[in-house]
Amino acid sequence: MLRAIDRERYRVIPIGITRDGAFVLESDDPDAFAFTDKTLPEVRDNGTRVRWPESTLSRELKVLHPDGTEESLGDVDVVFPILHGRFGEDGTVQGMLELLGLPYVGGGVLMSAIGMDKHVTKSVLQAAGVPVVPWRRLTRAEFDRDRSRWTHQVHSLGLPVFVKPNRAGSSVGVSKVDSWDDLDAALEVAFAEDSSALIEQAVVGREIECGVLQARDGESPRVSVAGEIVVTGRAFYDFEAKYLDAPGVELVCPAPMHDGELAEMQRVAARAFEALGGEGLARVDFFYTGTDFYVNEVNTMPGFTPISMFPTCWIASGMTYPGLITELIELGRQRVS
């Protein structure tokens, strides 16, 4: 995104968050965050501290340097919280920005919080008439307290199942279970990431994804063409395949679909997007059985790497990557007048 953003239109102030939660002023150098040797870049503590505005009366951003001097970075027009997972994509950072009165890109507090919680997402979508994959949610305490009841409920889903942390992203902590003997181990992996886990029935079908953008001028949400994840040499589309370009997965965009299939996918995607709040952007993930589109997840801040499906689908739909970023920024600027 640093490389693609329109520099004639926007001045970028890159802010990183360290593992300890410090907001630091980062280098405006795309190469500093490039993917090299199959590793992810990391925000390290460089000693700077970003100072957010003290109230809604100001949008001035400041930075405290390691030598104790303070510098003004100017007024902020819009924040692009390009963050995944908890403490970034779940409504927490969005809530902070709301308190400061700063416009930002993407879903608001409620939409972000719903989208981060897989159980709540499925419940909301089901209530809105959007087809979802059968699931069970449980906590470690519930499972330990009445293991026989939960075992019966989970077994009713049939094998195979996917076990996921209820509130995590990027396929972190996800396991595919082909034997009930492996269920406890999969739950331990999920519980290491979150206090509750989701067990989902595996659906035999194609994995289809598309991008959705907030509506403009009272129109319907805009939905991209479809992309397809073709898994050839892995158990599923996991973290390494999503971010480290690991082998065994092919991303096809646009996916081969009949006009009627594409129209139905776009209708269901728009319905799911609006059910969660209809703000900013989302990537809607489906399982397509050949007759039905089941929504698997609604990701309210999808990946923007060169191999990510969200920008790929919009580029295949006729947008440019810089144009997509510009559209999202302008949608964000409209949030607060």
Write down the pLDDT at residue 93.
Answer: 97
pLDDT at 233 exceeding the cut of 50: yes
Verify that 228 and 282 share a domain, yes or no: yes
Quickly tell me which residue has 């608001």 as its tokens: 108
Q: Is 208 inside a domain boundary?
A: yes
Q: For residues 295-307, give the mean pLDDT.
A: 90
Write down the pLDDT at residue 242.
Answer: 56
Tell which of 52, 76, 110 closes a domain: 110
pLDDT at 226 exceeding the cut of 90: yes
Verify that 43 and 142 share a domain, yes or no: no
3-state secondary structure of 248: coil
Q: Is it true that the peptide bond before 254 is cis, omega within 30 degrees of 0?
A: yes
Verify that 188 and 217 share a domain, yes or no: no
Write down the pLDDT at residue 244.
Answer: 54
Q: What is the CATH number of the domain that holds 288?
A: 3.30.470.20
Verify that 313 and 196 share a domain, yes or no: no
Q: Yes or no: say if 273 and 284 are a contact pair by the CB < 8 Å rule.
A: yes
Q: Give the total number of structural domains in the chain.
A: 3
Verify that 91 and 147 share a domain, yes or no: no
Torsion angle, alpha carbons of 162, 166, 168, 174, to 10: -20
CA–CA distances in Å: residue 197 to residues 88, 114, 127, 207: 20, 16, 21, 22
Q: Is 297 inside a domain boundary?
A: yes
Q: Is 2 inside a domain boundary?
A: no
Q: What is the CATH number of the domain that holds 196?
A: 3.30.1490.20
pLDDT at 337 exceeding the cut of 60: no
Query: Can you tell me the distance from the alpha carbon of 179 to that of 295, in angstroms, rounded to the nearest whole number?
Result: 25
Verify that 319 and 269 share a domain, yes or no: yes
Q: For residues 246-259, give the mean pLDDT.
A: 87
Residue 245: pLDDT band by 50, 70, 90 thresholds?
Answer: low
Verify that 208 and 321 share a domain, yes or no: yes
Q: Is 4 inside a domain boundary?
A: no
Verify that 183 and 63 share a domain, yes or no: no
Verify that 256 and 285 share a domain, yes or no: yes
Parent domain of 101: 15-110
CA–CA distances in Å: residue 211 to residues 181, 282, 288, 314: 37, 6, 16, 7
Query: Can you tell me the distance from the alpha carbon of 63 to that of 41, in angstroms, rounded to the nearest whole number?
Result: 22
Beta carbons within 10 angstroms of residue 187's beta carbon: 20
CA–CA distances in Å: residue 263 to residues 70, 92, 208, 222, 316: 54, 35, 13, 12, 16
Q: What is the mean pLDDT of the chain?
A: 91
Residue 336: pLDDT band by 50, 70, 90 thresholds?
Answer: low
* Centroid of chain to Cα 259: 27
Verify that 193 and 143 share a domain, yes or no: yes
Write down the pLDDT at residue 323.
Answer: 96
Verify that 304 and 227 share a domain, yes or no: yes
Verify that 30 and 149 share a domain, yes or no: no
pLDDT in tens, 105-139: 999 999 999 999 999 999 999 999 999 999 999 99
Q: Yes or no: say if 329 and 10 are a contact pair by the CB < 8 Å rule.
A: yes
Q: Yes or no: say if 113 and 106 are a contact pair by the CB < 8 Å rule.
A: no
Q: Is 124 inside a domain boundary?
A: no
